[in-house]
C-alpha cells in the first residue's frame, strides 16, 4: 500500500513520496523506515511524519516495547550473570549484555559487585537488528559519571516512550516542580523505565503517580496537579 506523510502506516507499506524525493535530493530515513532495493518500506506501526527539510520517520512514541538505539541511556535490571557477562533486562525483545569491564576502574582482579536483581543505569553502545544490544556503565573517557548501579531502596516502574520524551522536554515543568516540592532521587531511561527513591513510601508513590498522570494533560494542568499533590502530602504529615 502506498502511503504519504500524515497517514497511519503499518509494516510493509510503501512510501512512494520519499522514493520520488530521494531521486531529486538527499533524504534521511529515521526510525521506522528502511530502504529496500529502490523503495522505502515501513517497518514499524505509527504515523508517518516529516521534519524539514528532508527527514522522514514513523512516530510510534506511544508504544511501550523499546527498540534499542545507540547512545541512549537506559534503566535495566540484572537478570543473570555468567562468566564475564551480565544480562540486563532493558525492556527490548532481547536482553542487553554488560561486560564486567564496562565499569569505572574494573579489572580482572577488581570486579564490580553486581548481583542479580540490581538496577543498572547504562548507555547503549551497540544496537543492531542482527545482534543483541550491548550496554556500558562508563563514558568515552572511562568515567562513571551518573551511570552504574543504582542504590537500594528505590522503586522502578515502566511507562510509555512518549511520556519519557514529554517529561524530559525543556518546556515540561513536571520534574522541576517535583524536585522543588518533594525531595527525591530519580533516574529516567529512554527505554520507558523510571527509578525513583524518596524519603518515605508515600512520597515515592506520589512522585510515580504524578509522572504517570502527566502523559495526557497539558503543562498548565501539570502545575495544578503538583500543587494539589503537595497539599495532600502536607495534610498526611
pLDDT in tens, 105-153: 888 888 888 889 999 999 999 888 778 899 999 888 878 889 999 999 8
In a domain, 35, yes or no: yes
Over the chain, what is the mean pLDDT?
86
The Cα 138–Cα 146 span in angstroms is 9
Mean pLDDT check: name the lowest of 25-29, 75-79, 175-179. 25-29
Residues 202 and 218 in one domain: yes
Tell me the residue range of the domain where 206 lies: 155-236
* 182 found inside a domain: yes
* 67 within some domain: no
Last residue of a domain, one of 149, 175, 204: 149
Tell me how many domains the chain contains.
3
Q: 162 and 140 in one domain?
A: no
With b for 16 or more beta-carbon neighbours within 10 A and e for fewer, the 57-84 pattern comes to bbebeeeeebbbeeebbbbbbbeebeee
pLDDT of residue 22: 55
Backbone φ, ψ for residue 79 (5° rounding): -110, -20
Do 77 and 118 fall within a single domain? yes
CATH code of 19's domain: 2.40.50.100
**Distance separating alpha carbons of residues 57 and 44, to the nearest angstrom:** 10
Give domain status of residue 118, yes or no: yes
10 Å CB burial of residue 172 (0-12, 13-18, 19+) is middle
Determine, yes or no, domain membership for 164.
yes
Residue 180 lies in a domain: yes
Amino acid at each position: 500500500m502506498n502511503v504519504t506523510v500524515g497517514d497511519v502506516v503499518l509494516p510493509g507499506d510503501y512510501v512512494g513520496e520519499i522514493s520520488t524525493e530521494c531521486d531529486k535530493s538527499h533524504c534521511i530515513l529515521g526510525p521506522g523506515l528502511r530502504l529496500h532495493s529502490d523503495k522505502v518500506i515501513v517497518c514499524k506501526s505509527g504515523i508517518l511524519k516529516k521534519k524539514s527539510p528532508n527527514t522522514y520517520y514513523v512516530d510510534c512514541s506511544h508504544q511501550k516495547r523499546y527498540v534499542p538505539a545507540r547512545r541512549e541511556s537506559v534503566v535495566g535490571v540484572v537478570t543473570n550473570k555468567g562468566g564475564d557477562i551480565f544480562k540486563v533486562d532493558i525492556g527490548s525483545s532481547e536482553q542487553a549484555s554488560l561486560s564486567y569491564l564496562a565499569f569505572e576502574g574494573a579489572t580482572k582482579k577488581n570486579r564490580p559487585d553486581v548481583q542479580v536483581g540490581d538496577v543498572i543505569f547504562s548507555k547503549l553502545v551497540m544496537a543492531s537488528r542482527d545482534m543483541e544490544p550491548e550496554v556500558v556503565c562508563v563514558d568515552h573517557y572511562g568515567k562513571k559519571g551518573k551511570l552504574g548501579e543504582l542504590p537500594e531502596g528505590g522503586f522502578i516502574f515502566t511507562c510509555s516512550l512518549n511520556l519519557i520524551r514529554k517529561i524530559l522536554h525543556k518546556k515540561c515543568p513536571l520534574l522541576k516542580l517535583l524536585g522543588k516540592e518533594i525531595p527525591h532521587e530519580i533516574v529516567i531511561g529512554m527505554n520507558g523505565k523510571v527509578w525513583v527513591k524518596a524519603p518515605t513510601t508515600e512520597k515515592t508513590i506520589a512522585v510515580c503517580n504524578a509522572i504517570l498522570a502527566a502523559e495526557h494533560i497539558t503543562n498548565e494542568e501539570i502545575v495544578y496537579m503538583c500543587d494539589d499533590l503537595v497539599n495532600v502530602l502536607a495534610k498526611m504529615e
